[in-house]
Amino acid sequence: MIGSGLAGLSAAWQAAQRGCAVALLTRAKDIHDSNTNLAQGGIIYRGREESPEQLVEDVLAAGAGLSSRQAATLLAEEGPRLVKDILIDELGVPFDRSPENPAELDLTCEAGHSIPRIIHYKDQTGDAIEKTFVEHVTAHPKVDVYSNATAVDLLTTSHHSLEPTDVYRPLACVGAYVLDQNSGKIFPVLAKETILATGGLGGVFLHTTNPQEARGDGIALAHRAGARCVNLHLIQFHPTALLAPEGRFLISETVRGEGGTVVDRHGREFMQRYHPAGSMAPRDIAALAIYQTMLETGEPCAYLDITHKPADWLRQRFPGICALYLDRGIDITRDRIPIVPAAHYSCGGIGTDGWGRTNIDRLWAVGEVACTGLHGANRLASTSLLECLVWGTRAGQQAWEQIESDREFYFPEIADWRYERTGRSGAHRTGLAHHPPYDVELCGTDPQRKAIESCAPHPKRVGLGNQPLL
């Protein structure tokens, strides 16, 4: 598994639960570092007395005519069940309860949604899901986690086999070259199935809500290997990113969902000129409206105003946002928040089907790195975490089924990495480097922890110390 966000963790969990040996790689030092733990708003569940078709129609409306109805239907039919079965019942993510009825989950509404159907943990939903999932995945005996491990190239039979006639075999992925950031050495890691979960590419833009690490690694890896990439030009800009000298910070869609309004510097609303829903317009329209207003007025930003809400309620509902912005001199209980649109989400990516399969045999892609057709030209708020859960779960299950089938997994002899500058060659033969092929390798947003001699073992590996991992 390459990547340690929700998509990669979901796939790793499903594969490991079924008995697969999983190597989970992340290029981050901390497995928690991913786009997932930055997600503030929530995850789609189900509205009261809602039919799946209602969610399908909201997804299609937001996607500007370019969403796949098949993908939207899959999300609407499978998503709520998986949220309940995995996140709520199996893992116990502590979603907020309704103040009126603590026996029920608190449902909120966000821009583009026709009804309240989103559950959350304060304004730190992604962080709560990530921490809970990491705790379970890293404790699983079938999962080995490696930090500071960057996938630099996917291994394929056509490009990396030392047997020249392998070029005539069907294109298949057999693992990845992995960089150990601690030693600077690169070596091949072989896997029966490889799953990319590397996240998005917002880091290539000047203004983005993404972490710097979201730079499109997985798309580059897959494209170089021969994978079909779709709709890479469709980048969603989030309409409400905090304008601050030290960078852009996401302001959750939920702030608008809970009554926040977009205004100009004089406090005048202008969103009704662009969409009947006003400040609750879908992201693409809201971002364009704010940008157009900035051009017309010559102002450097617009503003998000939620000061009409009780201060204590705001601090309880949005503790993370309140604290973050107070550090920057903005009290959202009294001050309007200066906002600008910023690159937020890649609606395109590696083309996959409903199981996360790519056009390369034994290579899967899940999460933001993939293009399932769900988002079309514009992602509906809070669909990203649910897409990660649905497609990650399905890819992990299907990868296991492939491994358990009667198929033969061919592993060619792979050349050692050639170090052009130093003339070094040959991989370290410790740690993962000489481990027999893993069942599943997670390649992802944090090209995850594979076989690297000096990669620090995860704390769960009690007693290993600095000894070779395997």
Residue 47: partners with Cβ closer than 8 Å, 6 or more residues away: 54, 107, 115, 116, 117
DSSP letter at 361 equals B
Between CA 281 and CA 231 the distance in angstroms is 23
Q: Are the CB atoms for 194 and 207 separated by under 8 Å?
A: no
Locus of tokens 């996938």: 151
* From 46, 215, 256, 283, active-site residue: 283
- What does DSSP say about strands 118-119 and 43-44: parallel, antiparallel, or unpaired? antiparallel
The H helix count followed by the E strand count for the chain is 11, 17
**Degrees, nearest 5: CA angle 465-127-177:** 50
- The first and second tokens of residue 215, run together, are 């730079």
Distances in Å between the Cα of 257 and the Cα atoms of 73, 324, 338, 379, 381 are: 24, 20, 18, 16, 10
Cα–Cα distance list, 213 to 9, 118, 198, 237, 331 (Å) = 18, 28, 10, 18, 29
Phi, psi of 30 (to 5 degrees): -115, 130
Based on the residue annotation, tell me whether 283 is a catalytic residue of this protein.
yes
Amino acid at 73: T
Q: Mention every residue, 6+ apart, whose C-beta is less than 8 A from residue 2.
A: 8, 25, 151, 176, 194, 195, 196, 197, 198, 218, 441, 442, 443, 444, 447, 448, 450
Which of these, 445, 354, 409, 407, lies nearest to 4 by C-alpha position? 445
According to DSSP, residue 34 is labeled S
Q: Which of 89, 28, 446, 285 is nearest to 80 (CA)?
A: 89
Distance of CA 179 to the CA centre of its chain: 22
Nearest to 318 by CA among 256, 237, 267: 256
Q: What is the largest CA-CA distance in the chain?
A: 71
Cα dihedral sign, 76-82-88-91:
negative
Q: What is the DSSP string of 182-229?
A: TTTEEEEEEEEEEEEE----GGGSSSBSS-TT-S-HHHHHHHHHT--E
Catalytic residues: 283
